[in-house]
Amino acid sequence: MLFAAVPLCFNLIMSLKYLIAVLFVFFCAFVKAQDVTDCEKLLDKEPYFVRHKGSDKDSLLQKDIRILKHCGNFEDIDSVFLKGPMLGALMLDQVRIGKPATYRTLIEYFAAFKKTLAYKDFIKGLLLYKEMAAKKVNLDNWESDKELFVRMGFTAGDLEDFKGFLGSLVPENLTYKAALTRYMTEIEAMRVDK
């Protein structure tokens, strides 16, 4: 009799496992559907940062950013735009042209902006900047490395001056970012109109 109960218990346990698995799948689908519904509800609301200047650590500003990231499908590289002052300035521009101050307005603005040449150019410059921030100064590669500085607005004279400055730093094994910071500090120190 005891041995006859073992298959019954085994079947009961397997049935419970299947029931739990089905409930888990249903719960996950419900949560995902809830996310979509929440975005639709939230998109037409006014973000906190519209009326408040929050710091980067402000939990309500962080909530706005989480909503924008989740509902707007932003990429990691777009995080440079998701800062309080930047969001406020972009929203103000949109409100001035008659659009409502909502999450949807910013998401639509970014969706349109991401299709422009200006966005692609900005992202290319940002990626180049990040690369140069980690790249060590190497004058053998100057012709290709100087692209960032050209994009930053360096003139031919500025490039030659900076290259000469870099020549004096080669033994220090600095990154281009550190070298540029030091260069700008020296330029500032030489200004007569301080």
**CA-wise closest residue to 149 among 180, 172, 174:** 180
pLDDT for the residue numbered 168: 86
> How many C-beta atoms surround the C-beta of residue 65 within 10 A?
22
> How many C-beta atoms surround the C-beta of residue 151 within 10 A?
13
**CA-wise closest residue to 91 among 74, 73, 109:** 109
pLDDT for the residue numbered 76: 85
Residue 85, SS3 per DSSP: helix
Task: Name the one residue in this structure whose structure tokens are 């590289």.
Answer: 77
Q: pLDDT tens for the chain, 194 residues: list them.
A: 545 555 555 555 656 565 565 556 555 555 454 444 488 889 999 998 888 887 778 899 999 999 999 999 888 888 888 888 889 999 999 999 999 999 999 999 999 999 999 999 888 888 888 888 899 998 999 998 888 888 888 999 999 999 999 988 877 889 999 999 999 998 888 876 65
> How many C-beta atoms surround the C-beta of residue 84 within 10 A?
19
